[in-house]
């Protein structure tokens, strides 16, 4: 299978929430839908005992349908996504994982011709190196999305694929778990991607991407990238200046299919991207994902941070300003979460607590005034 034919490993983003009245949610309706689905799945070769076992315990999960309309990668800013994707903590942990699984990564790199840092970066991004694989029952999640969500046809196809996985004996129903949209295991494969690309790399007869041992999952990820047209030895992209040179003055690689990206306009960072950038977008079709994962891989391989100017945010703060706010809050005993420059829930709560203590309006917004107040402490 070559580029252009591999299905995405992860579902594409929801463009919009379902219009009112379209998301049917009553359990009687769900049961009726399951009966209809059972017929269709049987017609696609799923055996009755598998249908009985899988659908007999399927439950409608409204929270999964709600989650389908918000994927953070598509609502956060590009800069926040990059800061999160290649945070200092994730780089440090990724280097530890590369060292700990050195032999496995070497075998995978040799066999699939995909750089170890790229596979490790996807692992880090998708599940924090296996720590967050998702604990939602895949059959229930996909059935809920196929019944009550938009893009029902896509999720019904994934549900059939999930049942094929169970039928093949690779995993038990009890272990068939994942995140909200049926993305499963260490690197969050959706069922159709699993069927097309997963491999049994440890040779025990099962393709296990769910268990604690990441061997099959990491090899399957490399297999996916290879199948999607990954080119060993080529960068995903490089950061370039206004003249098209790399930031250290070297000329950019002369590779076919080069494309200039200026995701934040001018002024803003510029990237010259190549074939492997487009392969990463097949894994998860978001620019921020491909740049974030590609950059994390570069950092794991010893590369430096981006140096181009990111525009200041709506409050006039740079990434460094936001990190300084977090550092100063932490020093004062508030908990802003990870020092990554991303103003998430924890940082907002810490800002509110600081503002309350100082008798300020506790709006939780990171502003220049807030930074100035923190510096006065």
Q: Applying CB under 5 A, which residues contact Ca ion? A: 200, 202, 204, 206, 208, 216
The torsion of the CA quartet 359, 362, 366, 372, rounded to 10 degrees, works out to -10
Q: How far apart are CA 317 and CA 299, in angstroms?
A: 25
Q: How far apart are CA 188 and CA 71, in angstroms?
A: 14
Q: What is the CA radius of gyration of the chain?
A: 23
Minimum distance, C-beta of residue 371 to Ca ion, in the bound complex (Å): 51
Strand partners, 251: 245
Q: How far is CA 31 from CA 35, 36, 141, in A?
A: 6, 9, 14
Minimum distance, C-beta of residue 183 to Ca ion, in the bound complex (Å): 20
Minimum distance, C-beta of residue 199 to Ca ion, in the bound complex (Å): 8
Minimum distance, C-beta of residue 161 to Ca ion, in the bound complex (Å): 19
Closest CB to Ca ion among residues 200, 324: 200
Minimum distance, C-beta of residue 198 to Ca ion, in the bound complex (Å): 9
Minimum distance, C-beta of residue 332 to Ca ion, in the bound complex (Å): 50
Q: Count of alpha carbons within 13 Å of 373, Cβ hemisphere only?
A: 18
Render 52-89 in DSSP notation, one character per residue: HHHHHT----HHHHHHTT--HHHHS-HHHHHHHHT-HH
- In three-state secondary structure terms, 277 is helix
Q: Which residue is nearest to Ca ion (CB)?
A: 200
Buried (b) or exposed (e) across 165-189, using 16+ Cβ within 10 A?
Answer: bbeeebbebeebbbbbbbbbbbbbb
Give every CB contact of residue 231 below 8 A, 6+ residues apart in sequence.
275, 276
User: What is the sign, positive or negative, of the torsion defined by CA atoms of 248, 250, 252, 255?
Assistant: negative
Q: How far apart are CA 17 and CA 355, in angstroms?
A: 35
Q: Count of alpha carbons within 13 Å of 205, Cβ hemisphere only?
A: 2
Minimum distance, C-beta of residue 223 to Ca ion, in the bound complex (Å): 13
User: What is the sign, positive or negative, of the torsion defined by CA atoms of 304, 307, 312, 318?
Assistant: positive
Closest CB to Ca ion among residues 37, 194: 194
Q: How far apart are CA 256 and CA 253, in angstroms?
A: 9
Angle at which helices 102-112 and 88-100 cross, to 10°: 90
Angle at 248 between CA 298 and CA 300, to 5 degrees: 15
> 186 preceded by cis ω (within 30°)?
no
């Amino acid at each position: 299978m070559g580029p252009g034919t591999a299905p995405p490993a992860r579902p594409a983003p929801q463009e919009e929430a379902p219009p009112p009245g379209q998301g049917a949610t009553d359990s009687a309706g769900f049961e009726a839908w399951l009966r209809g689905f059972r017929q269709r799945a049987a017609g696609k070769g799923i055996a009755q005992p598998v249908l009985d076992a899988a659908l007999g315990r399927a439950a409608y999960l409204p929270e999964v349908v709600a989650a389908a309309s918000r994927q953070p990668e598509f609502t956060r800013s590009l800069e926040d996504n990059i800061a999160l994707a290649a945070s200092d903590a994730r780089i440090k942990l990724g280097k530890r994982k590369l060292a700990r699984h050195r032999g496995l990564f070497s075998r995978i790199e040799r066999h699939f011709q995909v750089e170890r840092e790229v596979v490790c970066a996807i692992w880090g991004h998708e599940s924090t190196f296996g720590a967050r694989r998702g604990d939602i029952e895949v059959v229930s999640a996909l059935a809920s999305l196929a019944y009550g969500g938009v893009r029902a046809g896509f999720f019904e196809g994934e549900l059939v694929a999930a049942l094929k996985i169970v039928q093949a004996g690779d995993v038990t129903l009890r272990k068939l778990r994942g995140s909200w949209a049926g993305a499963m295991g260490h690197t969050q494969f959706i069922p159709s991607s699993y069927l097309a690309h997963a491999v049994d790399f440890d040779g025990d007869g099962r393709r296990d991407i769910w268990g604690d041992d990441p061997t099959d999952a990491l090899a399957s990820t490399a297999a996916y990238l290879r199948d999607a047209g990954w080119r060993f030895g080529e960068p995903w992209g490089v950061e370039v200046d206004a003249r098209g040179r790399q930031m250290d003055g070297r000329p950019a690689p002369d590779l076919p299919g080069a494309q200039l990206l200026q995701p934040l306009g001018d002024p803003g960072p510029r990237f010259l991207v190549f074939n492997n950038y487009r392969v990463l977008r097949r894994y998860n079709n978001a620019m921020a994902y491909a740049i974030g994962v590609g950059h994390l891989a570069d950092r794991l391989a010893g590369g430096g941070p981006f140096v181009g100017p990111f525009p200041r945010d709506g409050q006039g703060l740079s990434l460094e300003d936001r990190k300084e706010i977090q550092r100063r809050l932490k020093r004062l005993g508030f908990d802003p979460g990870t020092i990554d420059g991303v103003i998430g829930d924890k940082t907002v709560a810490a800002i509110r607590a600081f503002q309350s203590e100082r008798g300020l309006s506790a709006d939780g917004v990171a502003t220049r005034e807030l930074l100035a107040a923190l510096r006065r402490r």
